[in-house]
Structures are given as C-alpha cells and as structure tokens.
C-alpha cells in the first residue's frame, strides 16, 4: 500500500546526487498511510466479537467441566471471525502484522474489561 501511495504512477524517481528515492505521491495520502497503528478494524472486531465470545461462554456455560466440544465451537466462532478480519487487513496490504496484533490485543483487553464490568 505504501509503495502505491508514494509512487502513484508505479515508477521510482531517484535523486541523482544522493541516489535516494524521491516520493512523488500526494502529501496528504502519504500522511494517511502512516496512520496505520494500531488497526482500527481489528481492534473494533476483537472488541465486539470478543465481548460476544465472553457473553456466549457465560450463556452456554462453556467452562462448567461438563462441556461438549460444540460449546467451545460456539465460544470461539466470534474470535475466529475477528481473526479473519485481522488477516484480511494484512493480506490486503493495509496494515503490517504488528499493527493488527496491537489492535487485536487492545480489542481483547477492552472486551474483557467490558464483560467483567457487565
């Protein structure tokens, strides 16, 4: 994503003296590309779907030692969906894995805090 922000025509321009690459993209578009940490989509996904996972684990009593595998599947399905959102952000080159990992941690912390207050 950053390559296309910095070089919208797809061609690199080099400084003849220093041999450094000159970024020819629009300054506003480049600045927007630097605002990727943490991933907002990932943090919101993990916050909402993480809360849903906590809620579902309480409703189906997933950890009562009499559980079935189906209970765990119900609990971890929202987490899997949030992880798919996170992977899509990296796969589409919108974020680095560090941005997505930090967003996921923030989302899970918020979800846990909100559920424990609930």
The CA–CA distances, whole Å, from 71 to 23, 24, 30, 43, 101 equal 52, 54, 46, 25, 26
- Residue of 34, 41, 68, 96 marked catalytic: 41
Tokens of 47: 């916050």
- Residue of 34, 68, 95, 96 marked catalytic: 95
Active-site residue 41, yes or no?
yes
Active-site residue 96, yes or no?
no
Instruction: For 41-73, give the secondary structure using H, E and C.
Output: HHHHHHHHHHHHHHHHHHHCCCCCCCCCHHHHH
What positions carry a catalytic annotation?
41, 95
């Amino acid at each position: 994503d950053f390559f296309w922000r910095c070089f919208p025509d797809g061609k690199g321009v080099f400084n003849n003296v220093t041999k450094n690459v000159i970024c020819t993209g629009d300054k506003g578009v480049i600045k927007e590309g630097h605002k990727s940490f943490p991933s907002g989509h990932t943090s919101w996904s993990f916050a909402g779907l993480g809360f849903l996972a906590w809620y579902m684990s309480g409703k189906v009593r997933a950890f009562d030692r009499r559980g079935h595998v189906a209970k765990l599947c119900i609990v971890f399905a929202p987490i899997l969906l949030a992880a798919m959102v996170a992977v899509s952000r990296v796969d589409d080159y919108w974020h680095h894995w560090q941005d997505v990992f930090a967003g996921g941690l923030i989302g899970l912390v918020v979800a846990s805090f909100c559920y424990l207050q609930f």
